Amino acid sequence: MKRSVWVIIWVGLGVALFAAGVLSYYASSSPDGLEKVAEDHGFIENAADSANATLPTADYSIAGVENERLSVGLAGIIGVAVMALVAFGMFWLLARGKKPSDEQASTHVDA
């Protein structure tokens, strides 16, 4: 008996929510690879703020939420929710009406 795809989907979504909502607070705050190289080699000042920097969700924190753990966690959960809507929606549209190939194949063999 095969494990259902949906078991994997729900477990994966649970891990994603936990990572973005809880673990993100403990992420390293050091500059990442590109940022460090830009700092070391004098072109970090060329970086301009994103035109979206004034969004209430900018920089993975929620404007007005003082508690940092809550702020980044909320941003992570919002991000996971938005990502789920966009990604599941897009891939569902792309695959609509297409049956798995091995089901087609097995039907073919039976016939």
Partner 1 sequence: MHVQTMHIPDGFINGPVSLVAMVIAALGIVICLRGARKQLDERTAPMAGLVAVFIFAMQMLNFPVAAGTSGHLLGGALAAILVGPYAGALAVSVVILVQGLLFADGGLSAIGLNIINMGLVTAVVGWFVFRWTIRAIGVSKPKVFFAAFLAGLIAVPVSSLAFVLEYAIGGTGTIGWPTVMVAMTGVHILIGIGEGLITALTVAAVFLARPDLVYGVRDLLPKQVLVVEPAKGVA
Residues numbered 70 to 109 that lie near partner 1 (CB under 8 A) are 72, 75-76, 78-80, 82-84, 86-88, 90-92, 94-102, 106, 109
| Tokens read off for 73 | 């966690």
Q: Does 66 bind partner 1 (CB under 8 A)?
A: no
Q: Does 23 bind partner 1 (CB under 8 A)?
A: yes
By CB under 8 A, the count of residues binding partner 1 is 74
Q: Does 63 bind partner 1 (CB under 8 A)?
A: no
At its nearest, how many Å lie between partner 1 and the CB of residue 92? Answer: 6
Burial class (CB in 10 A: 0-12, 13-18, 19+), 47: exposed
* Binds partner 1 (CB under 8 A): choice among 1, 46, 64, 111: 46
Q: Does 6 bind partner 1 (CB under 8 A)?
A: yes
At its nearest, how many Å lie between partner 1 and the CB of residue 68? Answer: 6
Query: Residues 74, 62: contact at Cβ < 8 Å?
Result: yes
Q: Buried b / exposed e across 8-40, counting CB within 10 Å, b at 16+?
A: eeeeeeeebbeebbeebeeeeeeeeeeeeebee
